[in-house]
A = this chain, B = another copy of it.
Amino acid sequence: MAKVKGLKCRECGREYPAEPIHVCEFCFGPLEVVYDYDEIKKNISREKIEKGPKSLWRYVDLLPVENPTVGLTAGFTPLKKAEKLGEVLGLKNLYIKDDSVNHPTLSFKDRVVSVALSKAKEFGFDTAACASTGNLANSVAAHSAQAGMNCFVFIPANLETQKIIGSLVFNPTVVAVEGNYDDVNRLCSEIANDLGWAFVNINIRPYYAEGSKTLAFEVAEQLGWRAPDVVVAPAASGSLYTKIWKGFNELKKVGLIDEVKTRMYGAQAEGCSPIAQAWREGRDFIKPVKPNTIAKSIAIGNPADGIYALQVARESNGAWETATDEEIIEGIKLLAQTEGIFTETAGGTTIAVLKKYVEKGMISPEETVVVYITGNGYKTMEVLEGKLSTPVKIKPTLKDFKEKVLARV
């Protein structure tokens, strides 16, 4: 009667038990968690969820974890009606799903890492690891500390130490690898194979990725148990985007919402847009690219879930669009100056791309639109250096204030 049936290859359909594995032995396709929705349907209800914890764990019935022990405050972030941004764009029912204030490390990674490490503890792992310099490393280091697990974070050796203070504070072992990201990732795969460690986005990836579904679950509940007409979400690997779609469809399967007519609109930075390029060219495969954008947190040149992201766009009557670095900065400023939310480059990309979809007439004014903001601008303020207005300098007198400031405003 378990809710999880096992793992299944997304390519050849071969089935596996729910173990810490991520690749099909036969076709090398990625594995995904498979649930017994009939069984889940018997146990789940809106009322039960609404009485649950004020975190993503209120949806534990649809997650591959039996006993949540890590990340108990993650998720349950605000869905903000964006009145002012909506006015600017001509949208009457625009909402921001604000993971820039996710707990504790201010990005959606707190969702996936909570699920990954809770599962890793169930499997009996005592060591967590990841290759990352940004939000993922912050979250793995923080949650490992909570969980009492050893933690290893792998970074390219040429990175400035200052960039990793937000991980180092949690006291992981940081390993600086001489080489580029490809070298780092290759070494991590070798270590994952060789040692009994939980690499959150390698051997634990099938469980880890499921955490992103909670972005759909929370939004549906916050909208009064319905899926939005339009979603705009950013993509790095494409996992978050595909899991939001999976999440809405699971809610329908278990009877919590009536229908899913959501159009899934994706957003990438022009300087690293392998999924959007494939969409533009009508391809169903990804050509890897070399990232060249300020949007580091979504700059993955060879996205693991790229082809599935293309499938979801086709299935959902969705689309893909890009934003230039300049448009990304404008997107950050637009969100800040209308809604008071300071996001990072991924969020700037999403806002800039939302604007384009509206300008192209792909969103109607009355539709319910949810924009996913996945990270916080206070972590990477340097991208805005020189891009904002400068202070007006005055002497400490009312006279000088009136002459130099008031006269000008």
Contacts and interface: CB of A to CB of B under 8 A. Distances in A.
Contact size range, A: 35 or more
Interface string A376-409: 1111010011001111111111100100010001
A103 B101 contact: yes
Contacts of A141: 340
B102 A101 contact: yes
Given A169-B336, A333-B169, A178 B394 contact: yes
A146 B174 CA distance: 40
B173 A392 contact: yes
A190 B339 contact: no
A198 interface: no
Contacts of A103: 78, 98, 101
Contacts of A150: 409
Given A191-B398, A342-B105, A381 B175 contact: no
A393 B157 contact: yes
A355 to B, nearest CB: 17
A252 interface: no
A193 to B, nearest CB: 9
Interface string A165-209: 110111101111111000110110011001000000000000000
Interface of A: 54-55, 72-73, 78, 80, 84, 98, 100-106, 141-146, 148, 150, 152, 155, 157, 161-162, 164-166, 168-171, 173-179, 183-184, 186-187, 190-191, 194, 332-333, 336-342, 376-379, 381, 384-385, 388-398, 401, 405, 409
